[in-house]
Structure 1
Amino acid sequence: MHQGRNEAVRLMGEGAAKELKSRWLAAAQLGLVSSTFSTLIGQLAASQLGRDAAVDWMTVAAQWADFSWALVFFGLFGRWTSRLAPRTLFWLAIPWAVFTSATEWFGLVPLFPFFQPIFTLQQPYWIGFLVHLSSALIYPLFAWLRWPLRRAPPTSAVRFAKRWAAGALLVLATFGLVSVIDGLGWPLPTLSRDVAGDQRYIRHMVTHHEQGIELAKLGKQRAQDPHLRALAALMVASQQSENRIFDRWWRGWSSEPMALCSSEERLAMPGYLTSAQMADARNAADGEFDAVFIRLMSLHHAGAVQMADNQWHSSGDPRLRLMAHAIRHEQQGEIALMNNVTGIEAVRQATRNMLANNL
C-alpha cells in the first residue's frame, strides 16, 4: 500500500511537471503570435496616427516586450490565468495593457533595468498602450494554442478562440488595405471641423520642421558630444518622417498644392530662427558648437511645442491632433534630453509633458 501511494505521488508530480512545461510552451507560442500581431498592426496603423514606425523603432523595440509579457501572464501567472475563458481574457486586455505599458513607461525602461530615458521623454504613453493593447487582444487564442496542433477538443472556448483568430486576420487585412490605399496617396477623408486651420497648421509646421531639420543636420555633423550627435540624428529622422506624413495628408485632403509660407508668416512663427541665428550655428567654433546648438534648438523646439499645443486643442482632424500631441511631447522631451535629464526627473518631466505645454 505504501508503495502504491508513492507511485501515485510520483505520477501526480510527473503530471504537474508536464502540465507546467506545456503551459510555458503555450505561453511562448502565444507570445510569438501576439507580438507579431502587435508589430504588424503597429506598422500598418502608424501612418494613420501620424507616426513613422521605423522612427519609433529607433527609440525602443516593443516586440520583445509583448513576448515577455505573454510569458508573465500565462507562464508566471498561469496557475490562475491559463484556465480563464477567452471572453474573460478579452475583458482583461485593457487593464493588462494599462499595467504593462505603464510599468515600462514609468519604470522599467527609463529607470531600472534599462536606464533609457529617451523612450519616456520622446514617446507619449499612449503609443505603448496601443501596442500592448493590440497584443493583449490576442490572448483569447490561448485556449486553442495550449493544445497540440489538430488535437484541440471541440469545446466552446476553443471554438471562440478560432473565431477570434479569424477576426484578428480580418483586422490585419483591413489595416493592410487601408495602409496600401494610404500609401498610394488616398488617405482616409479628413474629419476636421476646421479645415482652414488644419491647412494652416500643416503649412506652418512643415516650414518650421524644414528649418529644424537643417539645424539638426548641423548637430548630427558637428556636435562634439556623441549623445548629442545621436539625438540630432533622431531629430532629423523624426521631423523628416513627420513632414512626409504632412505632405501625404495634404495631397489627400486638398486639391491645391501646398503653398510656401511667406516671409511674414515665417517671422510670425514661434521659435522660427532668424538668418543671423542660423549663421551663429553654422559659424560656431567646434568647442562652442554644442552650447550654441542646444540653445538654438531649444528655442526652435519651444516654438514647435506651442504650435502643436494649439493644434491639439483645436477642432481639427483627430489624426492631426493626435500627431500634434505626440510632437508636443517629443520636442519637450528632446529639450530635456539635450540637457541630460535622466532618472526620476526624466519620468517626472515626461509625465508633465504628456499632459501640457510646460515651456
Structure 2
Amino acid sequence: MYRTRRRLAAAAAALALGAALTACAGQSGASAPSASVGAGSEVAAHNDADTAFAQMMIVHHEGAIEMAGLAVERADDPAVLALAERIEAAQSPEIELMAGWLEAWGEDATPVGHEGMDHGGMQMEGMDHGEAMGVLDDLEGDPFDQRFLELMIAHHEGAVVMSESQLEDGENPDALDLAQQIIDAQTTEIAEMQALRTGS
C-alpha cells in the first residue's frame, strides 16, 4: 500500500512538472522568437547592439504609432488613412516581439536615461517627437495629410538608419531578421509616401 502511494505520488509529480514546462514553453513562444527561447545558450545569444536596437526601436515605433493614430483621426485622403492604419497594424506586434526578446534576455525594456529622450533619438526636420505632434495637431484636411507624410518619411528614414546599424553590429539572428524586415517594409512605405506627396 505504501509503495503504491509512493508510485502514484511520483507519477503525479512528473505529470505536474511536464505540464509546467509545457505551459512555460507556450508562454515564451507567444512573446519571443524561437531563437530567443529554450536553452540558456540560445537566450544569451545577443550583444549590446541587439539590446539597444530592441529598446530604441520600441520607443521609435511608439512614436510612429502615435503619429499614425492621429492620422487615422484626421487624414483627408483615403490613401493616407489606409497607410496610417497599416503602420499601426505592423508596428504594434513588432513592439510586443521586441519586448519579449528583452524579457527573455534579462534586459530592461526601457533604455537607461530614457527620460526626456526623443522617440528613438529621432529628429524630424529639426523637431523632436513632441514638437512634430504639436505641428500635426494644428492641421486638418490636405495640409495635415501633406505634413504627416513629410514627417513620417523622416521618421521612417530614421528607422532604416537604426536597422542598418543593427545589421552591422548586432548578433541575435531574430533581431537581425527584424532589422532587415524593417528596412524592406519602411523603404517601400517611404516610396509610397513620396508618391502620395507628389500625386504620382
- Equivalent of residue 293 in structure 1, options 139, 145, 148: 148
Q: Is the 8 A contact 1:193 1:316 kept in 2?
A: yes
Partner Cα distance (1:226, 1:191) in 2: 45
* Structure 2 counterpart of 1:216: 68
Count of residues paired in the alignment: 163
Question: Would the aligned equivalents of 1:271 and 1:302 in 2 still touch at CA under 8 Å?
Answer: no
Q: 1:279 aligns with which of 134, 143, 160?
A: 134
Are 2:118 and 1:266 equivalent residues in the alignment? yes
Offset at 1:277? 1.8
Question: Computing the radius of gyration over CA atoms, which structure comes out larger, 1 or 2?
Answer: 1
For each residue in 1:158-183, what CA deviation from the matched residue of structure 2 results, as whole angstroms up to 9, or x when unmatched? xxxxxxxxxxxxxxxxxxx9766412
Aligned pairs (5 A) from 1:329-340: 329-340=184-195
| Contact preservation (8 Å) 1:191, 1:318 | no
Matches within 5 A, 1:66-105: none
Q: Does 1:199 align with 2:43?
A: no
State the percentage of identical aligned residues.
26
The answer to whether the aligner puts 1:249 opposite 2:101 as a matched pair is yes
Could you tell me which of 325, 330, 341 is aligned with 2:180? 325
Aligned equivalent of 1:132 = none
Please report how far the alpha carbon of residue 265 of structure 1 lies from its aligned counterpart in structure 2 after TM superposition: 4.6
Counterpart contact for 1:190–1:317, Cα < 8 Å: no
Whether the 8 Å contact between 1:314 and 1:321 is mirrored in structure 2 is no
Closer/same/farther in 2, CA of residues 302 and 271 from structure 1, 3 Å limit: farther
Match of 1:182 in 2: 29
Distance 1:179 1:330, change over 3 A: farther
Unaligned runs of 5+ in 2: 1-23
1:31-57 superposed Cα distances (whole Å, 9 cap, x missing partner): xxxxxxxxxxxxxxxxxxxxxxxxxxx
Letter in 2 for 1:259: T
**Does residue 240 in structure 1 map to residue 92 in structure 2?**
yes
Rounded to whole Å, the distance in 2 between the matches of 1:235 and 1:183 is 22
Alignment partners' CA distance in 1, 2:119 and 2:159: 14
**Structure showing greater relative contact order (alpha-carbon pairs closer than 8 Å, 6 or more residues apart):** 2
Change (3 A) 1:181 1:270: closer
RMSD: 2.6
How far residue 322 of structure 1 moved from its aligned partner, in angstroms, is 0.8
Contact 2:74/2:140 (8 A) holds in 1: no
CA–CA distance in structure 1, aligned partners of residues 189 and 120 of structure 2? 23
Over residues 128-178 of structure 1, what are the superposed CA-to-partner deviations in whole Å (9 max), with x where a residue is unaligned?
xxxxxxxxxxxxxxxxxxxxxxxxxxxxxxxxxxxxxxxxxxxxxxxxx97
Task: Show CA shifts across 1:205-251 (max 9, x none).
Answer: 11111111000111122111111111110001111110010011111
- Per the normalisation by structure 1, the TM-score is 0.41
Q: Please tell me whether the aligned partners of residues 190 and 253 of structure 1 are also in contact (alpha carbons under 8 angstroms).
A: yes
